[in-house]
Amino acid sequence: MRRVVSCFLFFFLIGCSDTSPDEVASFESDDWAIQESQLQLEEDLYITETEDYFFGAIADVVADKEGRIYVADARELHVKVLSPQGELLHTLGRQGEAPGEFGALGQLHLAYDDSLYVFSAQPKRVSVFAPESDYRHVRSIPIPDEEGDAGDPRMLEGHGLVARVVEWPSTVDNIDERTMVIRNINDDGTLGDTLFEMPAAEIVMWRTARGQAGGPLPFGRTPHFEVGPGGLVHTAWSDSLSVTHYRSSGDRDTTITLPFEHIPVASTDVDHVREEISSSHFDAAEDQIPDTKPAFDQFLVDDEGRYWFRRPTDDPDRSDWWIADPAESTISVVSNQSEVTFTTVQNGFAYGHTEGDRGEPTLVRYRVEE
């Protein structure tokens, strides 16, 4: 085992009750009381390469109920299927445009029958692999472009695929009017009903010799959505630690709000951004950079309905994970010294990826212990 990560456990006091779509329950920060306890994440799997394989670039990691691990390798353009011990069992797909092939590999999602859904941006579609017959490719679902920038498909329990669609205003002068809507995806690849909408990610635009260019606003706020148990969609806007649940019908159900303090953007943070992006991008963004960092930069919902937020700290080399459990009325704060990006939490394990000592892509798994 390589490390033990300690946590602090905070208790909040909220009530649970059934609500109608017109009676939204809201649990604000005043509902919280704090008490210290302990939680640990014990690392039990750390793989950079083995005699049988290595990772080119890890795009996503998921795991099934049996503990098998699925790794989307964006450079090798296939999905590695590993045993719970990290042994290579299969590789799914390859580079190409035929059914079951990928030109650019993105997110992975497991349906509740363990069928694997693989999102590819080139061509833009979801490829479905069946668990029987060594995950044979069974069908593809195209992702439409004609009604906006659609992507990031997710499996909603009992209701199929949903995706986010970014809708642009008629001119780039009104980019603040961009919205992100969550819509169903029908089996034929057409977009279905709109479930709800959120603000789109904050961006900046600048002129180039060829026209307009755009990019994210450094430390800008972004929308996040995840599907969870019971066919619920969970949304969060990164300016606060507030989560809203939506039912599969699109009806708003419940909102909870966690107490927190914003972390200021320091001059060293701005200097780091200046080194990481183009001069045109920085010049367009400089006067709009917020005074504070987002409340979080990653949001997950695990198989027990807990919320995982990756939060910034004063230390640029460290972030914290805040884990909120509405069922137990607790929040756990986990120091993340190694900058692990968790992608899924299931069956008592947190799966993700980081970089090894030489910067090589590395698969990690932690046991969640109370």
Rounded to the nearest 5 degrees, what angle is found at the Cα of 353, between the Cα atoms of 281 and 216? 15
Mean pLDDT of 320-325: 86
Confidence check: pLDDT of 264 > 60: yes
CATH number of 45-142: 2.40.10.500
**Residue 345 pLDDT class (50, 70, 90 cuts):** very high
Taking the C-alpha atoms of residue 285 and residue 114, their distance in angstroms, rounded to an integer, is: 43
Q: What is the pLDDT, as a whole number, of residue 355? A: 92
Which of 184-198, 228-242, 309-323 has maximum average pLDDT? 228-242
* Domains of the chain by residue range: 1-44+144-339, 45-142
Partners of 110 in beta bridges:
116
- Interval 51-63: pLDDT, tens: 999 999 999 999 9
Phi and psi for 268 in degrees, rounded to 5? -65, -35
Q: Which two tokens stand for residue 149?
A: 């920038």
Taking the C-alpha atoms of residue 246 and residue 253, their distance in angstroms, rounded to an integer, is: 5
Q: Of the candidates 307, 159, 325, which has an alpha carbon nearest to the alpha carbon of residue 247?
A: 159
Using the Cα atoms of residue 5, residue 7, residue 336 and residue 58 in order, give the sign of their dihedral.
positive
- Interval 202-219: pLDDT, tens: 999 998 888 888 899 999
Q: What is the pLDDT, as a whole number, of residue 74? A: 94
Residue 309 C-beta-side C-alpha neighbours within 13 Å: 28
Mean pLDDT of 12-40: 44
Confidence check: pLDDT of 19 > 50: no
**Residue 39 pLDDT class (50, 70, 90 cuts):** low
**Could you tell me what percent of the chain has a pLDDT over 90?**
42
Q: What is the pLDDT, as a whole number, of residue 133? A: 67
More confident residue, 6 or 226: 226
The mean predicted confidence, pLDDT, of the chain is: 83
Q: What is the pLDDT, as a whole number, of residue 162? A: 84
Taking the C-alpha atoms of residue 353 and residue 332, their distance in angstroms, rounded to an integer, is: 21
Q: What is the pLDDT, as a whole number, of residue 132? A: 73
